[in-house]
Amino acid sequence: MQKDAFTLLYQDKKLLENTATPIITVSATFKEDLKGFHGEKEDDQIQDIVFSRAHYSMALAVAVSAWGNKIDATKAWLVDPTNHVKQADWKSIKLTDNVGKTIARQPLLKVLKDLVDRFARSKLPILENITPATKFLSQNIERPILSFHIATGNILAENGKTVWQMITDPHVRSDYVINAAKSNMRFMVFDQETKEEFFRVAAAENIKIPADQIENKVVVTGPPVDPRTLAAAKKKKPWNNDRALRILITTGGLGTNKQEIHKILDQLLPALKNPEANCPKLEIIYYAGTHFDHQRMAINLAKKHQIKHHLISPYDPADFSQAGELNMAQRQFKNNVKFHIIYHPQIIDANELLIRYGFSWADLFISKPSGDMAYDAALSGAALLSMKEWGEWEHNVRRVFEKFGICQKADTDHIVEQLIALSQKQSSHSIHNRVPTSSVRPLPQLTDDEANQMSWIAQAMLNTQQLPLSYYQGAINILKTSKQV
């Protein structure tokens, strides 16, 4: 291991040992931002390896809830052992990344994708690669450790550490319950249905949880959503046809749904200049994440349709320095441009751009219904059209938000026609007469005529304000729960 690499590993280890909330996940490499945090020279254009935005963004959401407005490693520290894999094992990490991204762009490889799903989470090389660093990073930690990836959770539990494992979707895979009988491993879930599923899966896998552990084995906390995303919702009002409809289209951590996104942009970009009859005025942001090929695809489509575009990709937009202030981005929008593209080769920076320019802006998301993006979208106060699911768990996510009247399946072959239909006023009683499950802020007072003459998009945005209170308090609940021994 190179000297500077060992220094970063040791510094991560000391911060993790001395923080009030130690957080470990497997999501991506972000060595350059880690260098910057410690005051070392960083290269902002080196391409991160990214397995998942979700396992990063959810862990960060809890860290931000602990930090407040400024980064404070004594309150919480987030470590990904992927940053500290031995040089000799780096080929396996690259292989996982390359195979995952290839399959994400080729939906016909679904059978192979299922194998890769186990490759990323179970007993194949990546688990072996991250084990030494995970054990070294945690060896002196006595307090409970919060894990956002089952691989780290199982490693920690098998090495005697007290673990709170976050289940990051409303879905329980078999590898979550492998160590469920251990008294030092407990779990947090989004909702009561997932808690009940946990025990069904444990029983099906013949995992015998001792009777004295069952009551406190699984805690319902709600989903971890960044406080900055929640703050964005408070400034939003349901969309109406007096202004442009703001649409945010997103890919995932591996660059999923690329073919669908291409088809959607190919239909929507012409509508920016020459809208069809009854089509609302549109503005679009495309979140390409860390994927250069997605960025090029979006730019090429803009050129094809002769649409002005602007790339939001500033140098090092994330102030992830010690005591760095969050949300200090300079304005990157161009007022005369209706199509913006968010891209950055590094996950921390790309995620910051999404939070600062995407969640605070969008009326409508078009995204796969993932455990991070769908929950973030809804809790930012936006409606959701869902693209093709990437796995069984995303069917569950879609059903959650369909139930609340926030989500519909995207008609990717006729997306303009769908937007026209969803933007028209329609008779409905789905909002006005529905009793809120709970609300974190006063609902708009609507007359009967107003309630019955809203578009589906406006209704869905209003419905986000009626989500269960735990959805808004998930990160805070997780922080509180993780302190329990």
pTM, full prediction: 0.91
Instruction: Dump the DSSP string for 33-88.
Output: HHHHHTT----TTSPPPBS-SHHHHHHHHHHHHHHTTB--TTT-EEE-GGGG--GG
Strand-pairing partners, residue 289, are 343
- How high is the pLDDT of residue 115? 53
Q: Which two tokens stand for residue 181?
A: 């009988």
CB-based burial label for 213 (10 Å; 0-12, 13-18, 19+): middle
Q: What is the DSSP letter of 209?
A: -
Pick the CATH number of 227-467 from 3.30.420.10, 3.40.47.10, 3.40.50.2000, 3.90.1010.10: 3.40.50.2000
- How high is the pLDDT of residue 449? 53
- How high is the pLDDT of residue 448? 54
Start-to-end CA distance of the chain, whole Å, equals: 35
In a 3-state reduction of DSSP, which class is residue 420?
Answer: helix
Count of H-run helices and E-run strands, the chain = 19, 13
Q: What is the pLDDT along the chain (485 residues), one digit of tens a residue?
A: 454 778 899 999 999 999 999 999 999 999 999 999 988 889 999 999 999 999 999 999 999 999 999 999 999 999 999 999 988 888 888 888 887 788 788 766 555 555 555 444 444 457 788 999 999 999 999 999 999 999 999 999 999 999 999 999 999 999 999 999 999 999 999 999 999 999 999 999 999 999 999 999 999 999 999 999 999 999 899 999 999 999 999 999 999 999 999 999 999 999 999 888 889 999 999 999 999 999 999 999 999 999 999 999 988 888 888 888 887 556 677 888 999 999 999 999 999 999 999 999 999 999 999 999 999 999 999 999 999 998 888 999 999 999 999 999 999 999 999 999 999 987 654 443 343 344 444 444 555 555 556 899 999 999 999 999 999 999 999 999 999 87
Q: Where are the domains of the chain?
A: 3-222+476-482, 227-467
- How high is the pLDDT of residue 434? 42
